Structure 1
Amino acid sequence: MGAEERESGRDRSRAHGSTALRHGASERPRVRLDQPRAPRRSFWPEYDPEAFGRLSEKIARFLGTGRFIVWMTFTIIVWIGWNIFAPSSVKFDDYPFIFLTLALSLQASYAAPLILLAQNRQADRDRVTQEQERKQNERSIADTEYLTREIAALRMGLGEVATRDWIRSELEDLMRDLELRHMVEAESDERDR
């Protein structure tokens, strides 16, 4: 926040305070809904939740692999072997292996929340994907129903449209009628002669 912004914020708070004091209210300034709040300072470190979430997913994916199990088993075997067979002066965790237990507990206490965070993020992605698929299915169903109605309308319309076969049969009927009429006229002309 720049010096000018701090000064304008102080001026506003003094103006609100003096107005409130004139009206007999407490010294607390009025909350203005037409102005955004000034960002609060926090003692907590700031972090990017997306970056942290991506990191937790990478860790959770690694924890769920055979490679992690092999490395963890190898580390524990080396740890125990070192603390059993090494000279006493270089041992750092004697027989009950308290430090190993503490390290494994610490790893587990961090792994569980990271895995849960990764699962929650995956569930959120799945929910969004399912919502998009549901909307796509609704659009497909609406399109299918529309096309079905259009096809039904076309079929009904085709029932009233003259087809090539119908026109051919009508023309044949007309030709027969003309031939009959022509024959009848020819016979009547012969009789009249």
Structure 2
Amino acid sequence: MNTPLSPNDNPKDDDRHLRFHLPHAHLSSVFGDDWFALKAESFARFFGTPTFLVAQTIIVAVWIGMNVAGLTKFDVYPFILLNLAFSLQAAYAAPLILLAQTRQADRDKTSSDADARHREDIAKANEERQVLTVKQTEQLVILLAQNTRLTEITKEMSERIEALTRELHDKLARMDSKS
């Protein structure tokens, strides 16, 4: 599952950074992923945008302005039709917003679970690296001790060779001086 990127892979187009979320991709949300649920969620998200708020403000201002100025008489003061429109909007907006929040909560939970699993994998890999580091350190200490011992043996042998060379040199020098 942890596939490394090859040199030919384009990380921009690659979704491997989502590999911990993939096990949850088959799960559908509580309200499903059908056309209605998706459109209802996008409509509920639109309710909180500045575009919606500005458009609604303009429509209400024009509505009230036209009726107060007497340009039209379809909804005179106290604007009962406008109140009915707001009530109808609220009756649909509240459930749609709750639907969007529930779907987002489901996505957040799934993402949180995948993130927790990812953190656990990282912690496990870190522990394995620490154990491996301890083993390698122990091996290095053993090798260093062996190297130290070999260096000591080499020194002892060099000193012994030097002593034997002097002894041989002295014997040869004495033989030359006798002859």
User: Which structure is larger by alpha-carbon Rg, 1 or 2?
Assistant: 1
**1:11-31: CA deviation from partner (whole Å, max 9, x where unpaired):** xxxxxxxxxxxxxxxxxxxxx
Identity of aligned residues (%): 35
What secondary structure, in the 3-state scheme, does the structure 1 residue paired with 2:127 have? helix
2:39 counterpart of 1:55 = yes
From the superposition, tell whether residues 184 and 53 of structure 1 become closer, same or farther in structure 2 (CA, over 3 Å).
farther
What secondary structure, in the 3-state scheme, does the structure 2 residue paired with 1:91 have? coil
2:66 counterpart of 1:82 = yes
Residue of 113, 116, 135 corresponding to 2:95 = 113
Map 1:107-186 onto structure 2 (within 5 A). Answer: 107-162=89-144, 166=148, 167=150, 170-186=153-169
1:5 maps to none
Q: Distance in 1 between matches of 2:40 and 2:145?
A: 69
Offset of 1:176 from its aligned partner?
2.3
Alignment TM-score, normalising by the size of structure 2: 0.70
Offset of 1:162 from its aligned partner?
4.6
**1:121-164: CA deviation from partner (whole Å, max 9, x where unpaired):** 11110110110011111111101100110111011011111589
What RMSD over aligned residues (CA atoms) do the two structures have, in Å? Answer: 2.5
Alignment TM-score, normalising by the size of structure 1: 0.66
Greater RCO, CA 8 A, separation 6+: 2
Amino acid at match of 1:114: L
Bigger drift between 123-132 and 162-171 goes to: 162-171
Map 1:98-109 onto structure 2 (within 5 A). Answer: 98-109=80-91
Q: Distance in 1 between matches of 2:80 and 2:164?
A: 120
Q: Give 5+ residue unaligned stretches, structure 1.
A: 1-47
What secondary structure, in the 3-state scheme, does the structure 2 residue paired with 1:93 have? coil
Q: Give 5+ residue unaligned stretches, structure 2.
A: 1-30
Amino acid at match of 2:128: Y
What is the number of equivalent residue pairs in this alignment? 144
